[in-house]
A and B are shown apart, each in its own frame.
Chain A
Amino acid sequence: MLIKELTEVPGIAGREGQVRELIKEQLKGQDLALSGDAMGNFYARWEGGQTPLLMLASHMDEVGFMVMGYDNSGLIKFAPVGGIDLRVVPGKKVYLGDEKTPGVIGVKPIHMQKKAEQNRPFSRQDLLIDIGASSENEARKKVNIGDQITFSTTTEFISERVMKGKAFDDRAGCAAIIEILKSRPPVKLCGAFTVQEEVGLRGAGVAASNVGPALALVLEGTTASDVPESPPHRYSTTMGEGPALTIMDRSFLANQKLNQRVMELAEREGIKYQLRRTSIGGTDSGPIHLREEGIPTIGLSLPCRYIHSPASLLNMDDLQNMIDLVKTILQDIAEGGFPIGTTY
């Protein structure tokens, strides 16, 4: 299953190579022009119609960690790469390096803690990775400084439609682009698989300049907060209610005319969608819409519960609805219905 393969591969910001190879493998022999750039972004260009050039963008990188050093007993010191709440880290399994050396993140046993210690989270200094090495020398032979570390979660269904896994943000977006490209849509299109989103939206701007599209669609993962302790009026998105259309986030204010047409199309086709009801967080839409003289951009996000944790949840109906909605938009562009190229 594509989403399983894509999410189980390690690829923190700056180390997206294995994800890129997997995507390349998927897109070979599909009449696409495949290319890359110096930063690591990967492009798949499709000539399917006489439309202006469109871009679909998703980022390949995930949140994870990096090997920083060794303890003299052979344990590994590490630091986060991207935004991770350290409270989801203790007691988890990880892979280190491109060779996926297994490790576990240990903690002080509860029996040896003072009561007050339990009121504060474990700090980075409390958390070390055990790779089964019994000395610093042995550890150095297995793992290098700077090696990437990712959670080693198995992606699987936990109920009929809901999958558990890591890195749905944003490999689910990558999977959507792959599906859409393979469906041979009637437009001129470039799929852009970007790098380094999680460390400051760094690859997407370069991708936008390389592609130079007339319109960009950014397919993302976003937080679903329909969970206890958060009141319904503060849900940003709800799992199972379809892809979420961005109105604004920290990096981007959406074009209202484009959003209006997206909503009309979704309603016409009966495709479930929702509005993203929070303004925090940045996405690749930010740098993309500010490139060149400004690139009209649409942001669509998949609701993920427990995003940036080792075990996040994704509803597969949401993914299918996102794919269907994007295909509908592309069809509409081919038919000239979409307000592309018009100004404010």
Chain B
Amino acid sequence: MDLKSFIERISNSPGISGCEQEVAGEITMAWEQIADEVRRDNLGNVIALKKGKNSHKPPLMLAAHQDEIGFLVRDIDKDGFISLDPIGGIDPRLLPGQEIKIWGREETLGVVGARPPHLQKPQDREKAIPLEKIFVDCGLKKEELEKKIRIGDAVTFHQKMGWLNENIGYGKALDDRAGVAALHQVLLELKDRTTPLDVAVVATVQEEVGIRGAITSSFALNPDLGLAVDVAFASRPGLEKEMTLNSNGGPGLEIGPHMHPGVLEKLKEVAGEKEIPIQLIGVPHPGGTDTYVMQMNRCGMATGLLSIPLANMHSPVEVIDIRDVRRTGRLMASFCLQADVEFVEGLKCL
């Protein structure tokens, strides 16, 4: 499946943290066509293996999380209005007027309502509506609704991925399905190539609620070296320039405690050879991505972090440039083709 079709499919698919079954199914189906084997572990991580020359050695691990932010149905009131519990960090100010989908016994569409303006005082408009006062309206009475959904059902934005132009796409869950798409690109690039080491490509679960899926998948694979790909803030007015990346500027290499210096040098070298633009960004505190737990797996591993610029993070209109996704995949694939036993051994600071 080509990159654009793949990213559309997985962006449209539901998969809030802990409920990744559906998107995991899409990813598994696509990767079975281009990897040597694909399996799921007990938490739901999708692990695809591409065999290399030295299969007796630990594999290289490439990770991106497949879960997205969203909500759970918290309660259904007597008139059929639904309240929500957030899964992951969501700004409640994005919600009024939003369309959502409840993944219950039946897929149920709803809109996020707001108190009618004529019942508000003018000064109310100066106040943001907190999540406790947000409700969903499915146009159904409680009894009808309860045939379709129940408390605890997953809720996502009702959004179909679209394109602002040939390269720039918007949609929900591109944090971090754009990263999963970059992994897809790696598998496409490596399809008829042989890497020195096995490459294990992992779509992790439950990142948004505390970086959990990467714990068990790293344990299972026990790699000496791993790269994660996540998203970073694309530059926009009002955001601190030093904390953002330019769209269409290529992958960000996140320099900080979770970026092994040897891995950074190699990524820069490979990018130079392949003429892939990169952006360096300083990240003083580790955390917030799969590398956080990968690095501390078992007896420790060398890690590196790449980021895809993304605007409007954690909204239903996250924006990416597909060229950045493709470049990130190409950079990682080229890295895997060069990372041999000697290079990995050399990272051990002996």
Chains A and B belong together in one complex: yes
A-to-B contact residues, CB < 8 Å: 71, 73, 75, 83, 85-93, 102-113, 118-122, 126, 128, 130-132, 134, 153, 156, 158-159, 161-162, 164, 223-230, 234, 236, 239, 278, 280-281, 305-313, 315
Residues of A within 8 A of B119 (CB): 225, 229-230, 234
- B171–chain A nearest beta-carbon distance, Å: 9
Taking CB atoms and an 8 Å cut-off, the chain B residues in 194-237 that contact chain A are: 233, 235-237
Whether A310 lies near B97 (C-beta < 8 A) is yes
Residues of B within 8 A of A281 (CB): 118
A-B contact pairs, 10 of them (CB 8 A): A73-B235, A106-B236, A108-B236, A121-B125, A128-B237, A131-B164, A132-B167, A227-B135, A306-B116, A313-B139
- B9–chain A nearest beta-carbon distance, Å: 19
Whether B137 lies near A309 (C-beta < 8 A) is no
Given that A113-B91, A164-B109, A227-B116 are known contacts, is A91 also in contact with B128, CB under 8 Å in the complex? no
- A149–chain B nearest beta-carbon distance, Å: 14
Residues of B within 8 A of A307 (CB): 116
Whether A111 lies near B89 (C-beta < 8 A) is yes
Given contacts A73-B235, A113-B91, 6 further A-B contacts (CB under 8 A): A85-B125, A91-B94, A130-B319, A131-B164, A156-B109, A227-B81
CA A111 to CA B160, docked complex, whole Å: 24
CA A189 to CA B100, docked complex, whole Å: 42
CA A158 to CA B313, docked complex, whole Å: 27
CA A227 to CA B135, docked complex, whole Å: 9
Whether B99 lies near A164 (C-beta < 8 A) is yes
CB nearest to A123 among chain B residues: B126
Whether A280 lies near B94 (C-beta < 8 A) is no
CA A164 to CA B233, docked complex, whole Å: 33
Whether B139 lies near A92 (C-beta < 8 A) is no
CA A71 to CA B239, docked complex, whole Å: 14
Residues of A within 8 A of B344 (CB): none
B-to-A contact residues, CB < 8 Å: 77, 79, 81, 89-94, 96-99, 108-119, 125-129, 133, 135, 137-140, 144, 162-165, 167-168, 170, 233, 235-240, 243, 247-248, 311-317, 319
Pick the contact of A158: B128, B138, B163 (CB < 8 A). Answer: B138
Pick the contact of A92: B127, B128, B168, B317 (CB < 8 A). Answer: B317
CB nearest to A92 among chain B residues: B97
Whether A159 lies near B236 (C-beta < 8 A) is no
Residues of B within 8 A of A126 (CB): 238
Pick the contact of B127: A121, A128, A226, A313 (CB < 8 A). Answer: A121
In the complex, the number of residue pairs spanning A and B with C-beta atoms less than 8 Å apart equals 194
Closest 3 pairs (CB-CB, A-B): A162-B139, A132-B164, A88-B97
CA A93 to CA B137, docked complex, whole Å: 20
- A191–chain B nearest beta-carbon distance, Å: 29
CA A1 to CA B164, docked complex, whole Å: 27
- A314–chain B nearest beta-carbon distance, Å: 9
Pick the contact of B243: A88, A112, A226, A280 (CB < 8 A). Answer: A112
Which of B94, B126, B138 has most chain A Cβ within 10 Å? B94
Which of A234, A239, A306, A312 has most chain B Cβ within 10 Å? A306
Whether B77 lies near A228 (C-beta < 8 A) is yes
Whether A111 lies near B313 (C-beta < 8 A) is yes
Residues of B within 8 A of A88 (CB): 96-97, 114
Which of B91, B109, B133 has most chain A Cβ within 10 Å? B91
Residues of A within 8 A of B117 (CB): 83, 85, 223, 308
CA A109 to CA B240, docked complex, whole Å: 12
- A158–chain B nearest beta-carbon distance, Å: 4
CA A118 to CA B91, docked complex, whole Å: 7
- A223–chain B nearest beta-carbon distance, Å: 5
Whether B128 lies near A110 (C-beta < 8 A) is no
- B266–chain A nearest beta-carbon distance, Å: 29
Given that A104-B319, A230-B119 are known contacts, is A311 also in contact with B98, CB under 8 Å in the complex? yes
Whether B94 lies near A107 (C-beta < 8 A) is yes
Pick the contact of B111: A75, A107, A164, A223 (CB < 8 A). Answer: A164
Residues of A within 8 A of B168 (CB): 132
CA A272 to CA B111, docked complex, whole Å: 26
Whether A87 lies near B311 (C-beta < 8 A) is no
Whether B114 lies near A119 (C-beta < 8 A) is no
Whether B137 lies near A104 (C-beta < 8 A) is no
Pick the contact of B317: A73, A104, A122, A153 (CB < 8 A). Answer: A104
Whether A305 lies near B126 (C-beta < 8 A) is no
